C-alpha cells in the first residue's frame, strides 16, 4: 500500500498520530503537498463522509476521523501555503440567532474542511449581520447556517434576505441545514441549498460554487 493510501486508511480509523507521521513520511518521499492533501487526507475523509451518509458510521467516528485530519493538516498546512495551493473557497458557518446547538454545525465545518474549504466558524447565536460582515471580510463563497429549533429556524430567512439585499447577492451562496430544516423550508425562504447531513453539506457547498 502506498504512503498516500496508508494516510487515507489511518485517517478513516482515526489514528491521528499515525496520520501525522505518514504525512511527514510522504513529504520526505517527495510527494507534492497538494497530492498528499487530495489523495491522502481528503480521500479518507470523503469515504468517511459517504459512510456517514449511509449510516455505516456515526458521529463519534466522524469526530475522530476529523481529529486525525487536523493532525495531518498541522504538518501539511504550511507546505500547502508555501506551494501556493489555494482552498476551493471560504465557507462562513454558524448557528442561527437564538440557537445554542453546535454539534451538527461543527460536523459540517469538519466536512467542509475535508472537502477543501477554508472554514470560518462564527459559533452560535449568530445574527444575520454577523454572517454578512464575516462573508465580506473573508471573501466567502458560501454561508452555511444551522438551526436545531423550530423556533429559531425562521431566523434563517433574515440571513437569506440580508444577503439578497446586499452587494453579495448572487456572489455568496447561502446553504441551510439542521434537524427541523427541510428542502421545502429552503425553497420557502429562498436559500440556495439545503443539506440533510454534514457530508451532504460538503457536497452541496462544492456544487454551489461549481467545484
Ligand atoms: Co436541545 N433541543 N434544546 N440542547 N437538543 C433538541 C434540538 C430537541 C429536538 C430535543 C427534544 O425536545 N426532543 C428540542 C427541539 C424541539 C424543536 O424545536 N422542535 C430541543 C430543545 C427544546 C432545547 C431547549 C429549548 C431546551 C430547554 O432549554 N427547554 C434548549 C434551547 C437552547 C437554545 O438553543 N436557545 C436546548 C438546549 C440544548 C443543550 C444546550 C442542552 C444541548 C446543545 C449542546 C450543543 O449543541 N453544544 C442540546 C442538545 C444536545 C439537543 C439534542 C439532544 C441533540 C442535538 C445534537 O447535537 N444532535 C436534540 C435532540 C435530538 O436531536 N435528538 C435537542 C447531533 C447532531 C450531530 O445532529 O445537530 O441534527 P444535528 O446535525 C446534523 C444535521 O441536522 C445536519 O448535519 C448534522 C450531522 O449530520 N446539519 C446541517 C446541522 N446543521 C447543518 C447545517 C447545514 C447542513 C446540515 O448547512 C449549513
pLDDT recorded at residue 84? 74
Atom of ligand 1 nearest to the CA of 100: 34
Atom of ligand 1 nearest to the CA of 107: 79
pLDDT recorded at residue 177? 98
* C-alpha–C-alpha distance, residues 112 and 62, integer Å: 13
C-alpha 182 to ligand 1 mean position (Å): 15
pLDDT recorded at residue 101? 95
Look up residue 55 and give its three cell numbers. Answer: 449510516
pLDDT recorded at residue 111? 85
Helix (H) or strand (E) holding 90: strand 89-95
Which residue's C-alpha comes closest to atom 56 of ligand 1?
Answer: 103
- Determine phi and psi for 167, rounding to 5 degrees: -70, -10
* C-alpha–C-alpha distance, residues 204 and 210, integer Å: 10
pTM of the model: 0.88
pLDDT recorded at residue 110? 84
pLDDT recorded at residue 196? 94
Alpha-carbon torsion, ordered 124, 127, 129, 130, to 10 deg: -10
pLDDT recorded at residue 82? 81
CA angle 66, 181, 177 (to 5 degrees): 30
Atom of ligand 1 nearest to the CA of 93: 91
pLDDT recorded at residue 80? 83
Residues in the chain with pLDDT values less than 70: none
pLDDT recorded at residue 81? 75
Q: Tell me which of 57, 61, 92, 101 to substitute to probe ligand 1's pocket, judged by most ligand atoms within 8 Å of the beta carbon.
A: 101
pLDDT recorded at residue 199? 84
pLDDT digits (tens, 9 = 90+) for 97-145: 999 999 889 889 988 988 899 999 999 999 999 999 999 999 999 999 9
Amino acid at each position: 500500500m502506498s504512503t498516500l493510501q496508508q494516510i487515507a486508511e489511518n485517517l478513516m480509523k482515526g489514528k491521528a498520530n499515525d496520520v501525522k507521521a505518514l504525512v511527514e513520511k510522504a513529504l520526505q518521499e517527495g510527494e507534492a503537498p497538494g497530492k498528499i492533501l487530495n489523495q491522502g487526507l481528503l480521500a479518507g475523509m470523503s469515504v468517511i463522509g459517504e459512510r456517514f451518509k449511509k449510516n455505516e458510521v456515526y458521529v463519534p467516528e466522524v469526530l475522530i476521523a476529523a481529529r486525525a485530519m487536523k493532525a495531518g493538516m498541522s504538518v501539511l498546512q504550511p507546505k500547502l501555503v508555501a506551494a501556493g495551493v489555494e482552498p476551493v473557497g471560504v465557507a462562513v458557518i454558524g448557528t442561527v440567532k437564538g440557537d445554542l446547538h453546535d454539534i451538527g454545525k461543527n460536523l459540517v465545518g469538519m466536512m467542509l474542511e475535508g472537502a477543501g474549504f477554508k472554514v470560518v466558524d462564527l459559533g452560535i447565536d449568530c445574527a444575520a449581520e454577523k454572517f454578512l460582515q464575516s462573508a465580506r471580510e473573508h471573501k466567502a463563497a458560501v454561508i452555511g447556517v444551522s438551526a436545531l429549533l423550530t423556533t429559531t429556524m425562521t431566523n434563517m430567512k433574515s440571513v437569506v434576505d440580508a444577503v439578497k439585499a446586499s452587494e453579495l447577492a448572487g456572489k455568496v451562496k447561502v446553504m441551510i441545514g439542521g434537524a427541523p430544516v427541510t428542502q421545502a423550508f429552503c425553497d420557502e425562504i429562498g436559500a440556495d441549498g439545503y443539506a440533510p447531513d454534514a457530508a451532504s453539506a460538503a457536497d452541496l457547498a462544492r456544487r454551489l460554487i461549481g467545484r
